[in-house]
Amino acid sequence: MSDRPSRGKDNPPERPGVEQGFGTRSVHAGEGGEKPWGSLTQPVVQTSTYAFRDSKELLDFKENRIVRDEYGRYGNPTLRAAEAKLAALDNAEDALIFPSGMSAVTTTLLALLAPGAHMILTDECYRRTRQFCTTLLQRYGVETSLVQPSDYRKIATLIRPGTRLILTESPTNPYLSVVDLPAVVKIGREKGVKVLIDSTFATPFNQRPLDFGVDLVIHSGTKYLGGHNDLLAGSIAGPAGLVNGIRDLQGILGCVLDPHAGYLLLRGLKTFELRMARHNENGVAVARFLETHPKVKRVYYPGLESHPNYKVARDQMRGFGGVVSFEIDGTFEDSNAFIDRLRIPRIAPSLGGVESLVENVALMSYYELGPEGWRDLGIADALVRYSVGIENAEDVIADLKQSLDRV
């Protein structure tokens, strides 16, 4: 049992039903009940600890006769409201939020793995996830096997008695490969191995992995969920039993989100459906334009028929997001000059916000490895990742055109 209290009457676990649409859940889920002082918005409960009226109340709490908060590391009303909202959006029994997407990944893996365990990780993934699995976990006796995201036969053959989980992103970073979720879940079920999906690029609006039988879904709330490039957060969602085990470890490790960041996450989620609809529209428009430009060698976007996983993406995703990766027909230097001529996006290492962001992937994330290291990881010298914001698509496209025409 977790020593963190379960949700009280003001924040009941809300499993979405057919009577509520996604936008309604984005606004209202997790925020039911009367709030203090008649507040319409969820208050920021900015406290490190919670006082008891007397020793009897403390005793009632210790003997589980009442449910309330005790200490900030174990719970906060603002954060519980955000967790309940995320659980509703992911169709999950429970959710847990963290101070970053990376802390959601690391805490979950530490909770599920022990020395001698083995895990399978797809090689197209966030570099820090790969680094944590192949270096730090290895130090503590956990072995990681890397495999291509769509090599389902290889995934199945890599499973052995000590294999505990399969972790993959979908879509992946930076090439936006889309994993066939039913295929991976089938492998996991047959072998008794848990399946974790990092669905940051898809978001719950475009894809809900738990609906396909995935055991746990991870998001970087820093990206589309917060949506305004002004907070760091992460989440894990799934069955209550699994989430509670991770919650216990979170209380030990102390990786808890600040209540004000939780409030910003709640505020961002209220416009989540509207923003995602615009990101999806803009992403498709930009990808289609880039595919027709002679200075673009190749476009990676799962909403394009040319993408190798287009059929899988079409079958299991509602939309394809605002991230478009593409290779400039030129050199490393050409791609950097192209980026520098752009007027709308800022050069920054993130995605999913209302502002467009752009980066040369090799320069931003892998520069210290050098050209040989980039190519070993499959990162092209002139690979550009563009996170399309919610600006007008025609302005974004005109800006891309003026710079591409000068490559």
Q: What CATH number has the domain bearing residue 45?
A: 3.40.640.10
Please indicate, yes or no, whether residues 366 and 392 belong to a single structural domain of this protein.
yes
Q: Which amino acid is at 279?
A: H
Backbone torsions φ then ψ of 138, nearest 5 degrees: -60, -35
Q: Cβ contacts of residue 225 below 8 Å, gap of 6+? A: 86, 203, 219, 233, 235, 265, 268, 269, 272, 352
Task: Assess whether pLDDT exceeds 80 at residue 36.
Answer: yes
374 located within any domain:
yes
230 located within any domain:
no
Please indicate, yes or no, whether residues 397 and 277 belong to a single structural domain of this protein.
yes
Please indicate, yes or no, whether residues 375 and 386 belong to a single structural domain of this protein.
yes
Please indicate, yes or no, whether residues 341 and 353 belong to a single structural domain of this protein.
yes
Please indicate, yes or no, whether residues 315 and 198 belong to a single structural domain of this protein.
no
Please indicate, yes or no, whether residues 57 and 162 belong to a single structural domain of this protein.
no
Q: At which of 270, 288, 309 does a domain end?
A: 270
The answer to whether the CB of 284 falls within 8 A of the CB of 149 is no
What is the tens place of the pLDDT at every residue in 181-225? 999 999 999 999 999 999 999 999 999 999 999 999 999 999 999
Residue whose pair of structure tokens reads 């009897």 in the numeric block? 56
Please indicate, yes or no, whether residues 107 and 18 belong to a single structural domain of this protein.
no
| pLDDT of the residue at 377 | 86
| Structural domain span for residue 117 | 101-221
Please indicate, yes or no, whether residues 292 and 258 belong to a single structural domain of this protein.
no
Q: Which amino acid is at 193?
A: V
Strands (E), 194-329: 194-198, 216-220, 234-238, 296-300, 323-328
Q: What CATH number has the domain bearing residue 377?
A: 3.90.1150.10
238 located within any domain:
no
Strands (E), 61-142: 94-98, 118-122
166 located within any domain:
yes
What is the tens place of the pLDDT at every residue in 249-267? 999 999 999 999 999 999 9
Mean pLDDT across 21-28: 94
Q: Cβ contacts of residue 254 below 8 Å, gap of 6+? A: 73
Task: Give catalytic residues, as residue numbers.
Answer: 73, 126, 198, 223
- The rounded mean pLDDT for the chain is 94
233 located within any domain:
no
What is the tens place of the pLDDT at every residue in 113-154? 999 999 999 999 999 999 999 999 999 999 999 999 999 999
Please indicate, yes or no, whether residues 77 and 114 belong to a single structural domain of this protein.
no
Q: At which of 270, 285, 306 does a domain end?
A: 270
Please indicate, yes or no, whether residues 189 and 213 belong to a single structural domain of this protein.
yes
Q: How far is CA 65 from CA 1, 71, 264, in A?
A: 15, 18, 33
Please indicate, yes or no, whether residues 286 and 349 belong to a single structural domain of this protein.
yes
What's the rounded Cα separation, in Å, for the pair 361 and 223?
A: 17
- For the chain, the domain total comes to 3
226 located within any domain:
no
- If pLDDT is split at 50, 70 and 90, which confidence band does 58 have? very high
pTM above 0.75, yes or no: yes
232 located within any domain:
no
144 located within any domain:
yes
Please indicate, yes or no, whether residues 17 and 48 belong to a single structural domain of this protein.
yes
